[in-house]
Structures are given as C-alpha cells and as structure tokens.
Amino acid sequence: MALGEVRIGNAPVSYGVFGQAAGGPGASPTMLLDTIADAGYAGSELGPPGFFGTPEETAAAFATRGLAVIGGYVPLHLGAGDEALIEADLAAMRRTAAELVAAGGGGWLILADEGDAVLRTRAPRGPGDAALALDAAGWARLTARLEQALAVAAAFGLAAAFHPHVGTYVESPTEVDRLLEGSEVTLAFDSGHIALGGGDVVGCARRWRERIAHVHVKDVDLGVAARVKAGVPQDLDAWFGGVCRPLGAGDVDLPGLLDELAEAGYAGWMVVEQDRDPIPLEGYPEVATEQAANYHWLVRALAER
C-alpha cells in the first residue's frame, strides 16, 4: 500500500508559545501563524483556549493565512482528581470545540490524560513504579470520564482521538492497549511519547494501525529521559523541553514509522511537534528556522515513500 492524502502541520508548542498568554514575552499569536504559513505548513493545531482570540477571530486569523485549523489538545483529569477537576476540564474542552466549529468543524479534539503531580515527577515510569498504575477501579473511572469527553465531542459534531502522553496514566503501550480495548476511541499517535513510554514506535504503529486517526511526528533523545530517571525526581515540565529534537536528530525510528504508515495506507494529518520551553522574542528566529527545516525534512521523507 501507499500513503493516502497526507497534509503536514505544526503546533504552537514547537515554537515555545504553548500555554503562554497572548501578549507574553515570546512571539505573538499572529507572528506564530505567519511563521507557520511561511515555512510551508498547511495548518496548525490550536494553543490553549482563546490563545488566538475568540472563536471567530481564531477562524479569521487562520483563514487569512490559508492555514487549516487542525485540532486542539484537550488535557483531562481522567485517571485522578475529583469531579470538580473533570468538570473544569470539560468546560475548557467546550471552548476549544467552539473554536474548531467556528473554523469549519473539521478539526480534531485531541484528548489526553492529565496524570497527577506524582506521575509527573516519576516520568517516564520504570519497573519500580508499578504501584503508580491505575487499578481496576481507576480504569473504570478513566473510561467513564473518557466517555463524558467523547459525548461532548459528539454534541459539537467533532471527531476526537486519544493522545497517550508520558507522565500520565496512559503512558506505556500496555496502558494504550487497555484503553483501546475498553473504548471505541481512535488514537492520536505521538511517536515521541510512545518512545518515551517504552514503546517500539514501529511495532506499536503496526499493532494499532486500524485505530490511528491522527499523527504527531516527534523525535526525542531517550538519553535525556534516562538521565532524568536516574537522578533527583523532577517535574515533567522541568526537562521535557530538552528531550525533543529536530526531526531525524533523535532516537525515534521515524523512517520506519513512515514506512509502516505507508503500508497501512494512512491518510490524514502529520503534525510536527518539537516541544520546547517558552522562548523569548530574541530567540524566536532560530526556532522558526528549525521548524522550517523540520517541514522540509518531513516533505523529503514522505517523497521517498
């Protein structure tokens, strides 16, 4: 088989502005969109709810630059936390959903577990962290909350996919297997998080090929994660920006992944993500150059398949 129609996008996190309020010390939302369009990307995922303005302003900002709104990342306290937390998460999800609807309703709601403070300091989990995994009651709670989120997506007429993430209750391939067995949700496959969670990226893509609906193309330095794990516990945010590498410069078998996706006939978005810490404005040109290089790396790699 061969790859179907694939479009290449990026996300604000690659430019060090995810979670940063508009008007902060880094690139403005409009500068970010100009940079993404100038590099050749066909679209971008959203930042936090409201990052690009109201739903109508967001739709207009993307359309003016010929960019598609690919989707929005939705963190959810699925495995831990009280009901007030999940209700706040679902309220934020509705704001993201409104932005996607205003932009035409073709974007993805990318759902992910939010984990908790303990998991974030023990990521990536190792053999000695088995007690941190969910028990049967925890999995039942996670599945029920995921169904709530899927119902919100359905109410907005939007597609949703689940994104495994290091430092959460759905981190390892075994946990992804259990999630897929207990739900009909499709998968947002992130090559970097799968690798950090202990997965064989190519093997996992092969095993889950019928469920993969969205792809994040991410390269990581597994040595960084290993050194973090061997040292003093640190919160995920303290080191994750340093684990992500330009495409082809890390330890992920991206050519093998693209071969597997081609074999499966994957058609859809491939979103480049190179998560990084917030970048002050003076450092932005270097970041923009690196993301343009990521685009051309992926274009060349896809052309070979």
pLDDT of residue 278: 87
Of residues 247, 305, 293, 289, the one with CA closest to residue 35: 289
The ranges assigned to domains in the chain are 6-303
User: What is the rounded CA–CA span in Å between residue 233 and residue 118?
Assistant: 10
Of residues 141, 170, 207, the one with CA closest to residue 75: 170
Provide the terminal-to-terminal Cα distance of the chain, rounded to the nearest Å. Answer: 10
Element (H, E) at 171: none
pLDDT of residue 23: 52
Of residues 81, 86, 11, 76, the one with CA closest to residue 41: 11
Both tokens assigned to 208: 């889950």
Element (H, E) at 65: none
Kindly report the pTM of this predicted structure.
Answer: 0.96
User: What is the rounded CA–CA span in Å between residue 88 and residue 82?
Assistant: 10
pLDDT of residue 159: 97
Query: pLDDT digit of tens for each residue in the chain (305 aa)?
Result: 578 899 999 999 999 876 555 555 667 899 999 999 999 999 999 988 889 999 999 999 999 999 999 999 999 999 998 999 999 999 999 999 999 999 999 999 999 999 999 999 999 998 889 999 999 999 999 999 999 999 999 999 999 999 999 999 999 999 999 999 999 999 999 999 999 999 999 999 999 999 999 999 999 999 999 999 999 999 999 999 999 999 999 999 999 999 999 999 999 999 999 999 888 889 999 999 999 999 999 999 999 99
* Domain made up of 6-303: CATH architecture: Alpha-Beta Barrel (3.20)
CB-side neighbour CA atoms (13 Å) of 261: 29
